[in-house]
Amino acid sequence: MTWPATARYELESAPGGLGLVQDLLNTVAAGAPRQADLLSDLAAAQAWVDDATAQWSAVTGQPVPQVALDADGLDELRAFRDELHRLTTQAREDVPETESAVPVLHSATAALQLGEDGLVRLESRGTGWRRLASLVLVAAFEGQRADTRRRLKTCRNPRCRAAFYDRSRNNSGVWHDVKTCGNAANLRAYRARQRVQNA
């Protein structure tokens, strides 16, 4: 099994539950040639949710969460995804972490649980799209704690926008694929410089 949306772009997936955050980002219409928006209608979105939650269960060892979308929930989920995409794209500009109050865009419910093994876990809560938002935000939070979330990026090529996991040693990657998106961008920049010189 693979992450259904991320697999469309033949990308390596982010580790563990962070793969769910990446997969939600990759439901957008992205890539070249352009892939479909997997949240464009309820049937497609529910199919994505079913596959993505099954994959989440496979990588985390947790039971498959039951998430049933309705039309209103799909609108909310799409808005949540688009904001997460925008913020992931902005993050490459390295917003400094601040202690002062930051406006809240979304909130989801989760429960802190003390297990018999002595470990504390954060468990997603809620129903419908809220359950999915909770799963995604728990995974993003765990990624922040593990310092893996900052490696989850969107491709700098505006025609692409695929969400990739940067495994480079110094976290310097900006293209989902240097050969396709990086070289195309370099070529465009080269041609632009030529036009300026020849003008």
By CB under 5 A, name the binding residues for Zn ion: 155, 157, 160, 176, 181
Nearest residue (CB) to Zn ion, 124 versus 157: 157
How many Cα atoms occupy the beta-carbon half-sphere of 62 within 13 Å?
Answer: 15
Q: Which is nearer to Zn ion, 53 or 88 (CB)?
A: 88
We find the least distance from the C-beta atom of residue 16 to Zn ion, in angstroms, to be 23
* Nearest residue (CB) to Zn ion, 11 versus 18: 11
Minimum Å gap between C-beta 10 and Zn ion is 11
114/64 Cα distance (integer angstroms): 21
- 53: burial class by Cβ within 10 Å (0-12, 13-18, 19+)? buried
Cross-strand partners of 154: 163
Q: Which is nearer to Zn ion, 27 or 157 (CB)?
A: 157
Beta-carbon contacts of residue 11 (< 8 Å; ≥ 6 apart): 22, 26, 162, 163, 164, 165, 176
The least CB distance from residue 171 to Zn ion, in Å, is 17
CA distance 77 to 23: 13
Shortest Cβ distance from residue 37 to Zn ion (Å)? 17
